[in-house]
Amino acid sequence: MQSLSESDSFKFALFANKNHRRTHSDKVHTYSLNCLGAVYIKARRQAIQKTGLTPEIFPEQCPLTPEDIFNSEYFPQ
């Protein structure tokens, strides 16, 4: 069983790193949004090449919103 001081130390460490994690998460989110267009273009090109389907089948712009992409429970129909 942890002593009170070990428990308090653990809680302090979690609290102290909370802001760092939030800042890091915000940076990753912003970076992802900035790359989305270029990543989609590359993925579209690869899908066309690998499937042999005509380019018209694949939307030129990403059909998903950033909210859809970052929502772990979203599944396109």
**Could you read off the pLDDT of 30-76 as tens digits, one per residue?**
888 889 999 999 999 999 999 999 999 999 999 988 888 888 888 87
| Separation between Cα atoms, residue 14 and residue 16, nearest integer Å | 6
**pLDDT for residue 31:** 87
Range of the domain at 61: 4-70
pTM: 0.60
**pLDDT for residue 14:** 56
The tokens describing 63, both together, are 């059909």
Do the domain assignments include residue 63? yes
**pLDDT for residue 67:** 87
| Separation between Cα atoms, residue 53 and residue 43, nearest integer Å | 14
Q: Alpha helix locations (H) across 1-77? A: 4-51, 66-70
Do the domain assignments include residue 77? no
How many domains does the chain contain in total? Answer: 1
**pLDDT for residue 26:** 82
Q: Which residues contact 58 (CB under 8 A, 6 or more apart)?
A: 44, 47, 48
Do the domain assignments include residue 75? no
Residue with more model confidence, 44 or 29: 44
Do the domain assignments include residue 31? yes
Q: What does the radius of gyration of the chain's CA atoms come to, in whole angstroms?
A: 21
Do the domain assignments include residue 46? yes
Do the domain assignments include residue 76? no
